[in-house]
Structure 1
């Protein structure tokens, strides 16, 4: 009964929802307009993802100098990445990307992990995929393999709902 009066008179003990760019937050949803991609679907090398997503986990990476990366992991195999500089408002957004995993592998040994993230594996100038050769976009003027940039990603995920819990 006291909870009712606390809500009625504005004394709610729930913490405020931490919202990121575009108002996204844990357990929120977002929709993608895929019409332009569906019109070219025969020419795409990937299967189109769905259009409606629920945010199951969120993360934040502080790159320093006012630059940040916000990631919104969906309940599927995708995540939305929003890069900002100077703040979290719509005018501070530099880039928005949707990542959809084409394939993934379980890595159980540290030696296999180190092999997967070395410069030769991740930073090569070219990549062969889907019978096509792809050129590196970032640091394209720099010769050779690029060492990976290590970042600290702080993440939170949804808590499973239990029967009888709010």
Structure 2
């Protein structure tokens, strides 16, 4: 009764989900079908859909650099990086990634080896292709970059994931590149 008198609601307050460039949960975006046809034979991913429906959205705040991720119905995510703010004019990079493989890491020993010896190598071999690490380091090995992503789904539920990441690329035709994003993820349960 008092909550009605003082305007308090039992419903959860609606949380603002990540949005940029008109991208949002429930929205969609298109990739030029001609571009897909021309480059698909060079890519590891095949059968990419030209239209993607956004089913979840995530945001990482890296001290003023914001990583937006829009997870789609095509086992992909569009990553938009904005530096210095969350507005369209702050965007410095946009990449579409398709999930290639997911592996369970069953022991602490394997987890430690992955983070200390594998993810940050200078190059990464996938199928018959060699990807070179994009992020530079003074040494041969680059420690994975930590990101804490807050992700929202279509139902308004959110989760937080710690990610230890590395970016690799390889050249393809027309001065384009194919990117490979490695991420070791853990979700700490309360």
Flag the structure with more relative contact order, 1 or 2, with Cα contacts below 8 A and sequence separation at least 6: 1
Instruction: Say if 2:116 is the partner of 1:119.
Output: yes
Give the number of the structure whose residues are more often strand, by fraction: 2
Consecutive unaligned residues in structure 2, runs of 5 or more: 1-12, 157-190
* 1:128 matched residue in structure 2: 125
> Does the Cα contact within 8 Å between 1:57 and 1:74 map onto a contact in 2?
yes
Query: What's the offset of the Cα at 1:18?
Result: 4.3
Q: CA RMSD in A?
A: 2.4
- Structure 1 runs (4+) deviating above 6 angstroms are none
Question: How many pairs align?
Answer: 144
Residue 143 of structure 2 corresponds to residue 147 of structure 1: yes
What residue is the counterpart of 2:104 in the other structure? 106
| Alpha-carbon contact 1:17-1:25 (below 8 Å) kept | no
- Specify which structure has the higher proportion of helix: 1
2:124 alignment partner, SS class: strand
Q: Which has the larger radius of gyration?
A: 1
1:158 aligns with 2:137: no
* SS of alignment partner, residue 113 of structure 2: helix
Distance in 1 (alpha carbons) for counterparts of 2:16 and 2:147: 25
Deviations 1:102-148 (Å, cap 9, x if unpaired)? 222233444443433x1321100111222233322220x63311111
